[in-house]
Amino acid sequence: MAHQWITPIFASVVFQLATFGAAAQSYPEKTIRLVVPYGVGGSSDIVGRIVAQRLSEQLGKNLVVDNRPGAAGVIGTEAAARSAADGYTLLIADAVHSSVLSVYPNAGFHPIRDFVPISLFATTPMMLAVHPSLPARSVTEFIALARKQPNQLMHASGGTGSIGHLTAEYFKQRTGVKMVHVPYKGGGQSIAETVAGQIPSVFVGVTSAVSMVKAGRLRGLGVAAEKRSLILPAVPTFEESGIPDFRVGNWFGVLAPAGTPQPIVSKLRQEIVKAAQTPAARSQLEAASLEPVTNTPDEFRALIDAEATRWSKVIKDAGVRTQ
C-alpha cells in the first residue's frame, strides 16, 4: 500500500524537477524587470543599473530598471513581493530591508518569508559628514559640540528608518549625545540640504558623498568601517576616533519573490557572481566607491537575519516610529 502512494508522489517530484530544470535552461525568454525601491541617482539605483547592464549582456535579454521610490523603500519592495515568482521580477535590496518590519510593522510584506535571497553584489561603509562651516574637524570634536548643545545639533537622513537614520541613532546610543533628526524624501535630498548648509550633519554611505567630500563641500569626519576607505584615505574610522567596533555598512543585493524556482535562482546567482567579477563591473563599482561582494543565498539570508536582530534593538531603544 505504501509503495502505491510513494510512486505517484515520487513521479510528481521528478516531473516538477524536470519542469523547473527545463525552465531554467530556457530562462530568460523575455525582459526581466529589476525593481529599485528608490529614486534615480542613489546608491541602489547605481547598483541596479550596473546589475541590469551586466546581466543583460550575459543573458542576452534586457533587464529593465523599474524605480519605485517611497517610504524608505517599502513601496517598491512590496510591489516586488507581490509579483509573479517566475524569475522575471527581481529586487535590488539594501540594508534597510533587514529593519523594515521594526520601523514599518504594516509594510505589507515580510523581508524573509516573501523573498528568496540570491546574492549580495556590493557594499559601502557609512560615514559622518558635516557642512564645512561646522566647527568640528573630527568625530571627537563633533561629539563635544553635540554635548554642549543637547537637542540642538541636527542631522539629516533619507527618511525615517533609512540606513542613514539608523546609523545616526546607533551613533547617539553609543556616544550618549542628543541630536535632532531631520528626515527627507531620499538620501540625495538629505545630502543636498547638508551641502547647502541647511542641516549641519548627515550620516551617509561613502559612495553617496565622496564627490562632495573631495570637492570640499562636505567634511568627512568618520568612516564606520574596520579600516579607512581607499577612496577617502584622509577620513579616519570611528574606531580611530575612540568608538570601538563602530561598523555600519550599506549593502546591496538581489532578491526574487518567494517561490521562484530553485534552478532559476541558482542560474541567476551564477550570473550575478560572474557579473561582479568582470573588470567592467568592478570599474563601475569602484567609480561609485562601492566594493563588489557576492555570497550564497544561505549566507545572504543569514546576513538579513543578523542585521534584523541588530537594528530591531537600535530602533526599539531609539523609539523610532513612522509618521
CATH number at residue 94: 3.40.190.150
pLDDT in tens, the chain (323 residues): 545 545 554 544 454 555 555 566 799 999 999 999 988 888 899 999 999 999 999 999 999 999 998 887 899 999 999 999 999 999 999 999 999 989 888 899 999 999 999 999 999 999 999 999 999 999 999 999 999 999 999 999 988 888 999 999 999 999 999 999 999 887 888 999 999 999 999 999 998 899 999 999 999 999 999 999 988 999 999 999 999 999 999 999 999 999 999 999 999 999 999 999 999 999 999 888 899 999 999 999 999 999 999 999 999 999 887 64
Asked if 224 contacts 149 with a C-beta cutoff of 8 angstroms, the reply is no
In this prediction the pTM is 0.84
For residue 35, the enclosing domain spans: 31-124+250-318
* Structural domain includes residue 228: no
Rounded Cα–Cα distance for residues 195 and 188 (Å) = 11
The verdict on residue 19 lying in a domain is no
DSSP helix/strand/coil, 175: helix
The answer on 138 and 111 residing in a single domain is no
Contacts of 275 (CB under 8 A, 6+ apart): 51, 54, 55, 58, 121, 281
> Could you tell me if 101 and 168 lie in one domain?
no
- What does the alpha-carbon distance between residue 182 and residue 151 come to, in Å, rounded to a whole number? 12
